């Protein structure tokens, strides 16, 4: 239980249903859908699509999604991959001939075909109760009427102004500047698009006038996209992967998502006696940073549309071999060189309804404002997921037409003794696998409740720097520097998270990250 004399937030308890997400209006809309007879799928779609208007720098219909779903009458978990593919004409050799050695993040070549709309349509048809028209109605309303910009959204928006280019600056800026806190943002052209999807389904988005707008806008900038690329977009159900951490089973999407990275990192951490370490001390941060270096190195080697060595990443022996490379008293150098002997052979919403259908859904345009490219007529902001490809010849994740890139977004679920007990997710691009492993460790090694596990300070090793939030003491940062880490306090918070725990007595407990504007709501 938290100290009520200290700042913080209480978990939300309810019996009939809970939504936890990063904007309060999306949580409210999801609960209204549940109260009106919809199920968790209807509510998750309604809230997620609304987030594209409430947090346009984070997500939108020009992006992708991944979903984990527990049906109401089962403990089985289904995975739906709603990530799009590169246009058929794209190939890495062509880009290398242009003098490129990595994917250009603000280029039309980084724009993969948006997959989320197809996935929402499929999910609604297969598991929804109210239909797509009802699920999209709230987003249509708010896209027309507008939503006051929330504090964290304003912070992110202002930091990413320069990412927007061309007509996108007209759609997403006001006289060239980001909207201020409380200023209303609307997207009436997107309301038109959503209305067409509500009336006519996926074909309204992937064929005809709307698709033509996206294709023409991309080709005008040198993109290789065609109408056939959009018309052929299709999500697919896949088999989840999982790994045990103590008595919790961490369930993730298989590649092209990076869920295997989270499982590998948790397996590495399991080789250490974290319970004996101060949960907010330097030793735990150090071990976690070293584990992240090794797990992310494996990700960069193997995660792709068709991951050739998935079994190797999930094998506990691989984790044990990697853990043996970690020096408790010194930060490692290049993890690629150190781990070679072991390896030689990227918004989140969760909903649980009264029937205990559980949805874990993550939905993104990748970088802040994605590619920065918006379609001319409708202002659809297009993702730059193709930046997840590599241009290295022969790499499993080499850019190629019709292929899905390595994806950072990963929804999660936890199972215990065969029962689903918690859909959860951690936002924050590359941080997500680290965030999943830390969340599970907080629950298991330190006995934290979901809200405390989310509130706890975070650290993350990225691009040669160990970022340590202000929630840690200066003494911890000094100790980490003495271990050889380059330590910095990040400009903004590390990630965001949401979770819903399903208790044995049927009560639901929702937790939501104070690093975001959102909340958990129940009824």
What pLDDT score was predicted for residue 292?
A: 96
pLDDT digits over 209-238, tens only? 999 999 999 999 999 999 999 999 999 999
Whole-number Å distance between alpha carbons of 366 and 346? 7
Q: Which of 112, 346, 390, 408 is catalytic?
A: 346
Adjacency order of strands within the sheet including 465-468: 459-462, 465-468, 487-488
Whole-number Å distance between alpha carbons of 138 and 174? 24
What pLDDT score was predicted for residue 288?
A: 98
Give the pTM: 0.95
What pLDDT score was predicted for residue 2?
A: 76
Q: How far is CA 133 from the centre of its chain?
A: 25
Whole-number Å distance between alpha carbons of 262 and 481? 26
In the structure encoding, which two tokens stand for residue 183, read together? 């200023």
Please, what are the averages of pLDDT over each run of 10 residues along the chain (523 residues)?
83 97 98 98 98 97 98 96 98 93 94 98 98 98 98 96 97 96 98 98 98 98 98 97 97 96 98 98 98 95 88 95 96 70 66 98 95 98 95 94 94 97 93 97 98 97 95 98 97 96 97 96 98
What pLDDT score was predicted for residue 345?
A: 44
What pLDDT score was predicted for residue 343?
A: 46
pLDDT digits over 63-76, tens only? 999 999 999 989 99
Count the Cβ atoms, other than its own, within 10 Å of residue 247. 9
Q: Does 346 participate in catalysis according to the annotation?
A: yes
Burial string for 135-160 (b: 16+ CB within 10 Å, else e) reads: bbbbbbebbbeebebbebbbbbbeeb
pLDDT digits over 267-277, tens only? 999 999 999 99
């Amino acid at each position: 239980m938290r100290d009520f004399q200290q700042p913080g937030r209480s978990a939300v308890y309810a019996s009939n249903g809970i939504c936890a997400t990063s904007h309060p209006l999306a949580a409210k809309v999801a609960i209204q859908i549940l109260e009106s007879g919809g199920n968790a799928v209807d509510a998750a779609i309604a809230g997620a699509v609304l987030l594209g208007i409430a947090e346009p720098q984070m997500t939108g219909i020009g992006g992708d999604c991944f979903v984990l779903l527990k049906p109401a009458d089962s403990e089985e978990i289904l995975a739906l991959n709603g990530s799009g593919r590169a246009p058929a004409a794209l190939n890495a050799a062509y880009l290398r001939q242009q003098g490129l050695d990595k994917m250009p993040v603000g280029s039309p070549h980084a724009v993969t075909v948006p997959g989320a709309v197809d996935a929402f349509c499929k999910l609604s048809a297969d598991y929804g109760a109210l239909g797509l028209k009802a699920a999209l109605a709230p987003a249509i309303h708010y896209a027309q009427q507008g939503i006051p910009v929330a504090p964290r959204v304003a912070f992110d928006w202002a930091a990413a102004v320069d990412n927007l280019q061309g007509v996108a600056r007209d759609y997403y800026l006001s006289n060239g500047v980001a909207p201020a806190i409380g200023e209303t943002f609307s997207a009436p052209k997107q309301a038109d698009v959503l209305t067409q999807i509500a009336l006519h389904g996926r074909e309204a988005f992937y064929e005809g006038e709307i698709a033509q707008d996206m294709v023409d806008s991309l080709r005008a900038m040198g993109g290789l996209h065609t109408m056939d690329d959009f018309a052929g977009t299709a999500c697919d159900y896949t088999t989840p992967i999982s790994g045990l951490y103590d008595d919790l089973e961490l369930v993730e999407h298989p590649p092209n998502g990076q869920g295997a990275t989270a499982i590998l990192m948790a397996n590495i951490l399991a080789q250490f006696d974290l319970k004996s370490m101060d949960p907010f001390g330097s030793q735990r941060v150090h071990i976690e940073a070293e584990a992240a270096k090794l797990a992310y190195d494996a990700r960069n080697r193997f995660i792709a549309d068709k991951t050739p060595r998935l079994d190797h990443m999930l094998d506990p022996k691989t984790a044990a071999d990697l853990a043996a490379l970690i020096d408790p008293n010194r930060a490692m150098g290049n993890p690629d060189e150190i781990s070679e002997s072991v390896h030689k052979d990227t918004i989140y919403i969760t909903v649980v309804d009264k029937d205990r259908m559980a949805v874990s859904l993550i939905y993104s345009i990748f970088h802040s404002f994605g590619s920065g490219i918006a379609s001319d007529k409708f202002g659809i902001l297009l993702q730059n997921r193709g930046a997840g490809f590599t241009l290295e010849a022969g790499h499993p994740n080499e850019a190629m037409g019709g292929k899905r890139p390595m994806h950072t977004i990963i929804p999660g679920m936890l199972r215990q003794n065969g029962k689903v007990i918690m859909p959860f997710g951690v936002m924050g691009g590359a941080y997500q696998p680290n965030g999943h492993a830390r969340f599970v460790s907080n629950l298991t090694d330190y006995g934290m409740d979901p809200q405390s596990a989310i509130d706890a300070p975070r650290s993350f090793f990225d691009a040669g720097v160990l970022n340590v939030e202000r929630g840690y003491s200066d003494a911890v940062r000094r100790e980490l520097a003495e271990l050889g880490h380059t330590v910095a306090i990040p400009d903004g918070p590390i990630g965001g998270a949401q979770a819903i725990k399903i208790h044995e007595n049927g009560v639901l407990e929702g937790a939501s990250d104070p690093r975001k504007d959102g909340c958990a709501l129940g009824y």
